[in-house]
A and B are shown apart, each in its own frame.
Chain A
């Protein structure tokens, strides 16, 4: 079948490759790229979904920065979530991975158990957690009261509700665990063996071998974590609807309500682009800083 001539084969393979990828490429262009660029256009328009949009220049952006207290409130809520949730989930995910990186009987079962929550559909998981947070019958309530601590108003105290959503998100740390496990498996045994010969303690082994060699994995999780948690939406939408007293009104929730509850699609597009710029900014900062602490060797 194959013709002689190296170049020919490769062009042919390229064509075939592209053909195979065509459905995805076209889907991406039509359903992702086009809406994204349209959203830029709409962000300069007043568009209520039902009527023709009209051009209003930078009014949406002006309104956002000067007249919309919820923009700042939701940004604060989201920042709070990102600042606490991302490090915590890295810490918990890595912790579980280290514990499950042992050769003991039935380890696969344990790994499965920890991984399971991250494949539960978010809405179903959230409804389940709503019950865990129940003020009287909730498992968590009874757990803390067992230790003689009064349970906080999980979802009814504006000062605590965000923490509840963070606690809930850690339930899905098993997703990160899988990635850390893969990273741990990539660390050659011989490093540990030579360290053991030199009499290094397990803490030292972790600090000087495991951690540096895991930095690319941690970095990947950090980037993905920040992008993901800036977009926190479903949990709050299902569980609190943004309350109590707007304490769980995250940025994406504000955006969604603006678009579909108050029909300010143009404004929602502007909000979306501002969020994009914010996430982009943090990602660039992260990549810049990563040169200092991520070791790819």
Chain B
């Protein structure tokens, strides 16, 4: 009797250990069963795909996944959830899950990556190069915007396919211009004019609180990258081994940002004010509280949804002076195939599809949702990195727009792609971003001068670069 009891106990104990140590989430076991399924039993091969959420309402992802299966009957995208962007430093997605999966040798077949993070993964041997799959008859990498491909190229191999892109442009509220006595048809052309206009558009209440503000240098989406690039800075040497965060051009750009903050009463005051600012229907630019901003093209879609009759216009961002050529910088997402993925070849078919024709299906479903569920009058597509797809989207959704303001704005954003730069391709791209962000804070809060802040950041980045390259060269 006692023995029996002991046996039962031991059995239960073993069971419980099994339960703890398998430690896998349901989705992992799902992917395991999929692996075991061969293609012979007529079942489609499931491509485990991270970063395409079919549940996201109005995204068109679900329709795209279904269309893919129709186009490739023997393949199926198995979309699984992956953490989104970090709440605050919205610079990158949360890659912890992907890191752990790759390190454990159980990666998905396809994963989404912020493009400037691709080389960080690739340089450490975490991804499969896509070159072996690219020489297909129906595929041409040159159809993707050059700068988006450069951003996912490391060691002269391509490591991911760019999906969308974006451009950062100047938005100004014509109504606010008129109220401040400015000519609504004349946007600022240079940094000096930008600050001058900003002064005229800014108003404080009796307590010295900001009521309206003309321009916040780091509101919307510009960062120091934009001003630094505009001023001829490059953040990193061409060979990728020397950090150039503290070159004079970038220091000057940061000084300009500090000046912009000082106009509105300093960083603390502006950021307290900024904390109140909402998105969506309460967007301060839509409400005329922020007169001008530099922001991504996605803002046009938000205006189209919440206030399509807004009296606004767009132009390329003001340049340091009359003699510099206007530019912008672009970011965006891409899909990569982790090393040791079980279905790399099939994975490539999937990412080829979702970065080209799939985007058309996605837009169609999204436009339908916009019109029928949200009652929006206008649908503004995103910018595709794949040029023919971008053209098709433009023709279908923008050319016939009967709203000149929205149409012109989209045109500006679309054309800006031709002068777009990307962030430096670096194995330490993440640290470069963090330190550039830190330097902005240190300078605008007056803890350090622009020069000191960038010197400090540069030293951190250089240390990491040296470490990386010495390891890399010794491999």
Point out residues on A near B: beta carbons under 8 Å.
1, 16, 19-20, 22-23, 26-27, 30-31, 46, 48-51, 67, 69, 134-137, 150, 153-158, 238-246, 257, 260-263
Would you call A23 and B16 a contact (CB within 8 A)?
A: yes
Would you call B276 and A135 a contact (CB within 8 A)?
A: yes
- How far apart are the CA atoms of A263 and B98 in the complex, in Å? 12
- Which of B445, B447, B456 has the most chain A CB atoms inside 10 A of its CB? B445
Rounded to whole Å, the gap between the CB of B128 and the closest CB of chain A is: 13
Set of chain B residues within 8 Å of A246, measured between Cβ atoms: 438, 441
Set of chain A residues within 8 Å of B20, measured between Cβ atoms: 23, 26-27, 30-31
Q: A50-B121, A245-B447 are in contact. Are A23 and B272 (CB under 8 A)?
A: no
Rounded to whole Å, the gap between the CB of B382 and the closest CB of chain A is: 26
B441 to chain A: closest residue by CB: A245
Q: A27-B20, A69-B456 are in contact. Are A157 and B86 (CB under 8 A)?
A: no
* Residues of B171-211 whose CB lies within 8 A of A: 207
Q: Which of A19, A136, A243, A260 contacts B88 (CB 8 A)?
A: A243
Query: How many interface residues does B have (CB within 8 Å)?
Result: 47
| 22 sample A-B contacts, Cβ–Cβ < 8 Å, listed by A number | A19-B13, A20-B9, A22-B13, A23-B16, A26-B17, A30-B21, A49-B100, A50-B124, A50-B126, A67-B463, A135-B273, A153-B268, A153-B272, A239-B88, A241-B89, A245-B441, A245-B445, A245-B447, A246-B438, A260-B96, A263-B120, A263-B430
B97 to chain A: closest residue by CB: A260
Rounded to whole Å, the gap between the CB of B384 and the closest CB of chain A is: 29
Would you call A241 and B86 a contact (CB within 8 A)?
A: yes
Would you call A134 and B87 a contact (CB within 8 A)?
A: no
Set of chain B residues within 8 Å of A134, measured between Cβ atoms: 275-276
- How far apart are the CA atoms of A136 and B211 in the complex, in Å? 12
Sample of 9 more A-B contacts, CB < 8 Å, known A23-B20, A135-B272, A156-B275: A50-B121, A135-B273, A135-B276, A155-B275, A156-B272, A156-B274, A157-B272, A263-B99, A263-B120
Q: Does B442 contact A (CB under 8 A)?
A: yes
A241 to chain B: closest residue by CB: B88
Q: Does B271 contact A (CB under 8 A)?
A: yes
A23 to chain B: closest residue by CB: B16
Set of chain B residues within 8 Å of A50, measured between Cβ atoms: 99, 102-103, 121, 124-126
Rounded to whole Å, the gap between the CB of B119 and the closest CB of chain A is: 13
B21 to chain A: closest residue by CB: A30
Q: Which of B87, B273, B445 contacts A238 (CB 8 A)?
A: B87
- How far apart are the CA atoms of A246 and B120 in the complex, in Å? 24
Rounded to whole Å, the gap between the CB of A116 and the closest CB of chain B is: 25
Would you call B271 and A49 a contact (CB within 8 A)?
A: no
A19 to chain B: closest residue by CB: B9
A261 to chain B: closest residue by CB: B430
Rounded to whole Å, the gap between the CB of B306 and the closest CB of chain A is: 19
- How far apart are the CA atoms of A251 and B194 in the complex, in Å? 40
Would you call B9 and A16 a contact (CB within 8 A)?
A: yes
- How far apart are the CA atoms of A135 and B276 in the complex, in Å? 6
- How far apart are the CA atoms of A244 and B100 in the complex, in Å? 29
Would you call A243 and B441 a contact (CB within 8 A)?
A: yes
Binary contact track B1-45/A, C-beta < 8 Å → 1, others 0 = 110001001100100110011000000000000000000000000
Q: A51-B124, A241-B87, A246-B441 are in contact. Are A135 and B275 (CB under 8 A)?
A: yes
Q: Does B434 contact A (CB under 8 A)?
A: yes
Q: Does B431 contact A (CB under 8 A)?
A: yes
B121 to chain A: closest residue by CB: A50
- How far apart are the CA atoms of A23 and B13 in the complex, in Å? 6
Set of chain A residues within 8 Å of B434, measured between Cβ atoms: 257, 261-262
Shortest Cβ-Cβ A-B pairs, 5 listed: A241-B88, A153-B272, A23-B16, A156-B271, A245-B441
Rounded to whole Å, the gap between the CB of B255 and the closest CB of chain A is: 17
B23 to chain A: closest residue by CB: A31
Would you call A244 and B430 a contact (CB within 8 A)?
A: no
Set of chain A residues within 8 Å of B1, measured between Cβ atoms: 1
Q: A67-B463, A261-B434 are in contact. Are A244 and B126 (CB under 8 A)?
A: no
- How far apart are the CA atoms of A49 and B120 in the complex, in Å? 12
Rounded to whole Å, the gap between the CB of A38 and the closest CB of chain B is: 14
- Which of A136, A240, A245, A246 has the most chain B CB atoms inside 10 A of its CB? A245
Would you call A19 and B10 a contact (CB within 8 A)?
A: yes
- Which of A20, A26, A239, A240 has the most chain B CB atoms inside 10 A of its CB? A26
Set of chain A residues within 8 Å of B274, measured between Cβ atoms: 156
B127 to chain A: closest residue by CB: A50
Set of chain B residues within 8 Å of A244, measured between Cβ atoms: 271, 441, 445
* Residues of B250-298 whose CB lies within 8 A of A: 268, 271-276
Would you call B268 and A260 a contact (CB within 8 A)?
A: no
B19 to chain A: closest residue by CB: A23
- How far apart are the CA atoms of A257 and B88 in the complex, in Å? 13
Set of chain B residues within 8 Å of A240, measured between Cβ atoms: 88
- How far apart are the CA atoms of A245 and B87 in the complex, in Å? 16
B102 to chain A: closest residue by CB: A50
Rounded to whole Å, the gap between the CB of A136 and the closest CB of chain B is: 4
Set of chain A residues within 8 Å of B121, measured between Cβ atoms: 50
- Which of A16, A157, A263 has the most chain B CB atoms inside 10 A of its CB? A263
Rounded to whole Å, the gap between the CB of A114 and the closest CB of chain B is: 29
- How far apart are the CA atoms of A137 and B277 in the complex, in Å? 11
- How far apart are the CA atoms of A203 and B125 in the complex, in Å? 69
- How far apart are the CA atoms of A65 and B464 in the complex, in Å? 16
- How far apart are the CA atoms of A263 and B92 in the complex, in Å? 14
Would you call B276 and A136 a contact (CB within 8 A)?
A: yes
Rounded to whole Å, the gap between the CB of B231 and the closest CB of chain A is: 24
- How far apart are the CA atoms of A155 and B87 in the complex, in Å? 14
- How far apart are the CA atoms of A51 and B275 in the complex, in Å? 40
Q: Which of A1, A26, A51 contacts B125 (CB 8 A)?
A: A51
- How far apart are the CA atoms of A130 and B333 in the complex, in Å? 29
Rounded to whole Å, the gap between the CB of A296 and the closest CB of chain B is: 38
Q: A48-B124, A245-B447 are in contact. Are A157 and B268 (CB under 8 A)?
A: yes
- How far apart are the CA atoms of A246 and B441 in the complex, in Å? 8
Set of chain A residues within 8 Å of B124, measured between Cβ atoms: 48, 50-51, 263
- Which of A46, A156, A240 has the most chain B CB atoms inside 10 A of its CB? A156
- How far apart are the CA atoms of A158 and B471 in the complex, in Å? 38
Set of chain A residues within 8 Å of B95, measured between Cβ atoms: 260
Rounded to whole Å, the gap between the CB of B93 and the closest CB of chain A is: 11
Q: Which of A46, A49, A153, A257 contacts B275 (CB 8 A)?
A: A153
Q: Which of A20, A48, A153, A238 contacts B271 (CB 8 A)?
A: A153
- How far apart are the CA atoms of A51 and B467 in the complex, in Å? 14
